[in-house]
Amino acid sequence: MSQGGESSASRRSRSKMRHFPVGVETGLLLVICPLCKMARVIERRSRRENENIGRVFFKCPRDNVPGPTRCGYYRFQRNYLDDLVEGKYVQFFDVENGVEDIEEMQSGEVEQGPNGGGMNKEVEARMESLSKTVRLLVVLVVGLCALVVGYLLK
């Protein structure tokens, strides 16, 4: 007999759920290295005193292994996200415009970043707009909560 108001079926279904490791800094999925396929990619923050200080990067732990088994997989966050999308681990969808909008963005104007990775200007603009919208919603929710608390304490 189950205790705590939980059925054995719900315990079984929860035990079948798979938990994939994600990076602490970014929350991005940490996948098996796409180059050597021998280890899971790790997430780190750059501490070197150069233009990359503080940037998050992903690398294969076998990058430090000497000899022929050394893996050279090393990507900064944006390029790693591109790899996840390319490997179909992550998909982005625009709820309003669907697949056509994604195809437009993929064929849009691309500028080369400092590490050779492409950055789509339209995607950057949309991300900035989304960020502003989220900030506005947070302010509105906090304001609404303050009004409700003020009303209840009245």
Per-residue exposure over 50-67, b if at least 16 CB sit within 10 Å of its own CB, e if not: eeeeeebbbbbebbeeee
Look-up: residue for tokens 């108001």? 5
Whether residue 44 lies inside any domain: the answer is yes
Whether residue 81 lies inside any domain: the answer is yes
Whether residue 137 lies inside any domain: the answer is no
Chunk the chain into consecutive blocks of 10 residues (it has 154) and report each block's average pLDDT, rounded to whole numbers: 49 56 82 88 86 87 82 88 84 60 51 49 81 92 92 88
Crossing angle of helices 121-153 and 98-106, rounded to 10°: 130
Whether residue 138 lies inside any domain: the answer is no
Whether residue 79 lies inside any domain: the answer is yes
What is the number of domains present in the chain? 1
Q: Which residues form the domain of 74?
A: 19-91
- pTM metric for this prediction: 0.48
Whether residue 46 lies inside any domain: the answer is yes
Whether residue 66 lies inside any domain: the answer is yes
Whether residue 11 lies inside any domain: the answer is no
